[in-house]
A and B are shown apart, each in its own frame.
Chain A
Amino acid sequence: MSRIYEGMFLIDNDTVRAGWTGAKSKVIELVQKHGGTIHTARRWDERKLTYPIRHKNRATFLLSYYEVPQENIPHLIRDLDINETVMRYLLLKADAVPDEERKLSEAENATDFVVPEPPADDAPEEREFIPTEYDEDGEPRPVRRPREPREAPKESKEPKESKEPKEVKEPVESAEADGAADKDKKEEAAEPAKPEPALASTETNEDTEKEG
């Protein structure tokens, strides 16, 4: 009695570089050798492995749905173990072939479908596995970013520049607002460089208090 199985095969990238159709046919022939019929077979992905298998860091994933007599499964597994192109496999029972898989495998069989060449084995992976981190309360932690080094010289420069315009403006405004400031103070306000802002403000306050 035959039934439908789902198979995920990790294929060595060296054989994929020689040609995708050749690499794919090696797996298909293996299934057909044991009396199986292929429903769908497509390139699922090419990605970095989370741990090296046979000293390889990358592999191409072939996803296929096929029908094989149940008695022949142990023989198929034995052949897959011996095979060198298949690095690892996962065989599962399936109820039916999904419709999406049929469409995608048909699209791959089209003539204009181009399989990109797999990158070098030590090429960096864009989609790295980043597990979410949780704190003691069980809430997800925000992604940590490295701190930027503090720049000391900039801080020393900024206050000097900011003080200069204040020295000119503040005494003039305070003098106008009070209205009762002395003539001497107005003369001091006209000269921009000499009086300091802190002193000028304290003087005006004291004067107003005295008057009041």
Chain B
Amino acid sequence: MAFGNTKKPRKLNLGLKPDDPIDYKDLELLTKCVGPQGQIVSRRRSGLNAKGQRALKQAIKRARHIALMPFVG
């Protein structure tokens, strides 16, 4: 019996607890949460809750502003 493609994307092991703050200077963490073209990974992949994903988004955007991370590529 085939149940279709039920393969889920593997979650990133970020080692974060739900309320851990995400710092824009923590590049080791932030580079994990970015795709090949520099796009922020989805919640489906990062495994964060909504609050954590917002914090991640904010941190990556701050890092981009001061040229620690690229906008593209």
Chain A residues within CB distance 8 Å of chain B: 8, 10, 44, 47, 49-51, 53, 59, 61, 63, 88-90, 92, 129-134, 137-139
SS of A interface (majority)? strand
Give 12 pairs: A residue, B residue, CB < 8 Å, sorted on A. A10-B66, A51-B67, A88-B66, A89-B66, A90-B24, A90-B65, A92-B62, A129-B69, A131-B36, A131-B37, A137-B10, A138-B8
> Closest residue to B41 on the A side, CB-wise?
A134
**Distance (Å) between the CB of A83 and the closest chain B CB?**
16
Known A132-B31, A132-B32; contact A50-B10, beta-carbon cutoff 8 A: no
In the bound complex, what is the Cα–Cα distance between A129 and B73 (angstroms)?
10
Residues of B within 8 A of A92 (CB): 62
- Given contacts A44-B25, A50-B70, whether A90 and B62 have CB atoms under 8 Å apart is yes
Would you call B31 and A129 a contact (CB within 8 A)? yes
Q: Which residues of B contact A10 (CB under 8 A)?
A: 66-67
Return the chain B residue nearest A8 by Cβ: B66
Q: For B10, B36, B68, which residue has the most chain A Cβ atoms within 10 angstroms?
A: B68
Across the interface, do B67 and A131 meet the contact criterion of CB distance under 8 Å? no
